[in-house]
Structure 1
Amino acid sequence: MIRGVRGATTVENNEADEIVEKSVELLKDVIQSNQIQAESVVSVFFTVTQDINDTFPAKSLRKLEGWTYVPVMCMREIPVPGSLPNCIRVMVTVETDKQQKEIKHIYHYDAKQLRPDLKS
């Protein structure tokens, strides 16, 4: 079965080091919380709000041992008026035996407000 695992975080500043650091932190939590192995990952998609452009959050994936060959891509979120600024979202598509309700979607910092129904 293929499942999507979502996550999101925010940054204080549009700075490469912080973007990568917060993205690594988010990925590690998504991976650990869902017992994901790189070999079972189909692809990883990051999106960023229009105020984040100092670097690609996809660079964070390359900081994880064993994730060298996982396909990753970055995109821009649609600029919906009033939406959460400075936000990085991720979708990890993974092969798993878990049921939909067993997937743990992870939200850090100000991104917690995106899904208050999913406590992480």
Structure 2
Amino acid sequence: MVRAIRGAIQIDSNDQEAILLGVAELVTEVMERNRLTTDDVISVIFTSTPDLTAEFPALAARKLGFNDVPLICASEIDVPGALPRVVRLMAHVELDRPRAQIQHVYLRGAVALRVDIAQ
């Protein structure tokens, strides 16, 4: 079955190293909590708030070995009052588990975005 896994992390600052480290942390947590390998991943969509421009979030996934996985980056809409410096992901994966067993991952300040599903 194809499942979607959501996640987000608030990045400390708009600098390349901070973005790469934060996204690597997020991707690693999603993979570990859901017991995935890159072979299970169909594709990943990354979005970032308009205040994060120093690096593409997908580069962090490439550095983790997502070489054959289609990745794309996009900008979040600029909603007034929205949480700043956030990278979100939606990973499409092949899993034989029910939706209720998926672990969505929200880290650092991004926990506030989805307290209903953050684990």
What TM-score results when the alignment is normalised by the length of structure 2? 0.96
Question: 1:92 maps to which residue?
Answer: 91
Correspondence for 1:12:
12
| Alpha-carbon displacement from aligned partner over 1:6-65 (angstroms, at most 9, x marks no partner) | 110011210000000000000000000001111121101100000000010100111213
Aligned equivalent of 2:64: 64
Superposed structure 1 runs of 4+ greater than 2 Å apart: none
Q: Distance in 2 between matches of 1:92 and 1:117?
A: 19
Corresponding position: 1:109 with 2:104: no
Structure 1 counterpart of 2:63, one-letter code? K
Number of residue-to-residue matches in the alignment: 119
CA distance in 2, matches of 1:74, 1:14: 16
| Counterpart residue type for residue 95 of structure 1 | E
2:18 maps to amino acid: E
Output the TM-score relative to the length of structure 1.
Answer: 0.95
Q: Give the corresponding residue for 1:29.
A: 29
Give the alignment of 1:71-86 within 5 angstroms.
71-86=70-85
- How far has the Cα of 1:117 moved from its partner? 1.6
Q: In percent, how many aligned pairs have the same letter?
A: 39
Across the aligned residues of Structure 1 and Structure 2, the Cα RMSD in angstroms comes to 0.9
* Residues in 2 aligned to 1:99 and 1:12: alpha-carbon distance in whole angstroms: 34
Letter in 1 for 2:92: T
User: Structure 2: which amino acid aligns with 1:53?
Assistant: T
Name the CA distance, whole Å, in 1 between partners of 2:102 and 2:118.
Answer: 12
